[in-house]
Amino acid sequence: NAVVRGVTKSALRRGWKVVGICDGFRGLVEGDFRGLDDTDVSGILVRGGTILGTSNTANPFSYALPPLGSPERPRDLSKLAFRNFRRLGLDALVAIGGDGTLTMANQLYKRGMPVIGVPKTIDNDLSATDVTFGFDSALAVATEAVDRVHTTAESHNRVMIVETMGRYAGWIALRAGLAGGGDIILLPEIPYKAEDIIKAVLERKRRGKKFSIIVVAEGAKPARGGMTVAKVVKGSTDPVRLGGVSYKIAELLDGRVGMETRVVILGHVQRGGQPTPFDRWLATGFGVKAAELVSKKMFGRMVSFRNYGFASVPLSAAVGKLRRVSPSAQEIRTAIGVGTSFGNSGVTG
């Protein structure tokens, strides 16, 4: 919403008309849209989500949504998307989303559509930008959760496991773990070893700390084994849905650390509510920058945030390769510096 507002307000000030496409690429393929004026975007800065709706399955190049397509027989309806774009008399398309959305946006651009991308995902896993819109808000929720489970952990002498989202990148778990003082942080980028997690909990116990907080990313996996898949969503751009690894961690601690373990899976709570002040600020900057790129006809680019400034990069540099946590990153060394374990004694940062 905050990006939609930023783009719309700055476009209207330039005297342009703005059309909102409903449910992302579904609306582009099916011709579902609405005009956006100043009153439509008033008051939405503080509202999470999108007034336009969204879809994680509507791919113009492999359309699986009924009635035009089906998961069994997806169809290439990109020509329809182009036809609707022309029919509406549009001069530019601003696509707001993560790797899947921006990959499709780049495909449309390569076929001639004037497209600008805006990086929006709580996973913070896009290349070519230091941060994506939505990440800070999810981080705030995850950090608050870590803060809150301390109460029960300390009072009941328990191991509390907080599971965050993030897909194949551990940014939310890493930063919430750092900000919330997590004792053990488990990331997809650093495969864990059961013995090392147990050792970390027991070591704390020896030092008189009768509880431990584990922050685990949904994509965390054991050194020998895969990620925990909750379900597969047929027809989705990335059909795999992760979730539930924390139950596996709880199981392997059971009877080994002399403490009870409890699990909290945050799920979509991280994607809801009001965006943080940083995210509202970032989204407004992204939106205004996107309109600026349109005015300069700099298409095929994604707005980005680099070294505390708004910039832009070619869409092709932003998609296809996820930005994940490096096990040798400064942040990993920072966490180890305050005694945090990554459940893998081989990692030193």
Catalytic amino acids? 123
Nearest alpha-carbon partner for 59 in 99, 88, 87: 99
Q: Does 167 bind ligand F6P (CB under 6 A)?
A: yes
Q: Does 122 bind ligand F6P (CB under 6 A)?
A: yes
User: Among 10, 50, 121, 341, which residue interacts with ligand F6P (rule: CB under 6 A)?
Assistant: 121
Q: Does 271 bind ligand F6P (CB under 6 A)?
A: yes
Stretch that binds ligand F6P, among 83-91, 159-167, 205-213, 280-288 (CB under 6 A): 159-167
Residues 168-227 that bind ligand F6P (CB under 6 A): 218
Q: What ranges make up the beta strands (E) of the chain?
A: 18-21, 33-36, 93-97, 115-119, 158-164, 184-186, 212-217, 229-232, 240-242, 260-265, 301-306, 309-314
Q: Does 36 bind ligand F6P (CB under 6 A)?
A: no
Which is closer to ligand F6P, CB of 12 or CB of 233?
233
Stretch that binds ligand F6P, among 22-30, 118-126, 208-216, 298-306 (CB under 6 A): 118-126
Q: How far apart are CA 173 and CA 202, in angstroms?
A: 22
Nearest approach, Cβ of residue 170 and ligand F6P (Å): 11
Binding residues for ligand F6P, how many (CB under 6 A)?
12
CB neighbour burial string for 232-256, b if at least 16 within 10 angstroms, e if fewer: eeebbbeeeebbbbbebbbebbeee
Residue 346 CB contacts under 8 Å (≥ 6 apart), including other chains:
none
Q: Which residue has the tokens 């579902």?
A: 32
Nearest approach, Cβ of residue 30 and ligand F6P (Å): 20
Q: Do 24 and 54 contact (CB within 8 A), yes or no?
A: yes
Residue 209 has which token pair?
A: 């700390």
Stretch that binds ligand F6P, among 3-11, 163-171, 273-281, 332-340 (CB under 6 A): 163-171
Cα–Cα separations (whole angstroms), residue 196 to 54, 169, 200: 41, 21, 6
Which is closer to ligand F6P, CB of 210 or CB of 271?
271
242 in the Ramachandran plot: left (φ > 0), alpha (ψ -120 to 50) or beta? beta
Q: Do 131 and 171 contact (CB within 8 A), yes or no?
A: no
Q: Do 282 and 133 contact (CB within 8 A), yes or no?
A: yes
Stretch that binds ligand F6P, among 102-110, 115-123, 276-284, 318-326 (CB under 6 A): 115-123
Q: Does 98 bind ligand F6P (CB under 6 A)?
A: yes
The 3-state DSSP class for residue 234 equals: coil
Q: Give the chain's end-to-end CA distance (angstroms, integer).
A: 37
Q: Does 65 bind ligand F6P (CB under 6 A)?
A: no
User: Among 11, 52, 113, 242, which residue interacts with ligand F6P (rule: CB under 6 A)?
Assistant: 242
Q: Does 235 bind ligand F6P (CB under 6 A)?
A: no
Stretch that binds ligand F6P, among 59-67, 160-168, 183-191, 325-333 (CB under 6 A): 160-168
User: Among 77, 106, 118, 123, which residue interacts with ligand F6P (rule: CB under 6 A)?
Assistant: 123
Q: Which residues bind ligand F6P (CB under 6 A)?
A: 56, 98, 121-123, 165-167, 218, 241-242, 271
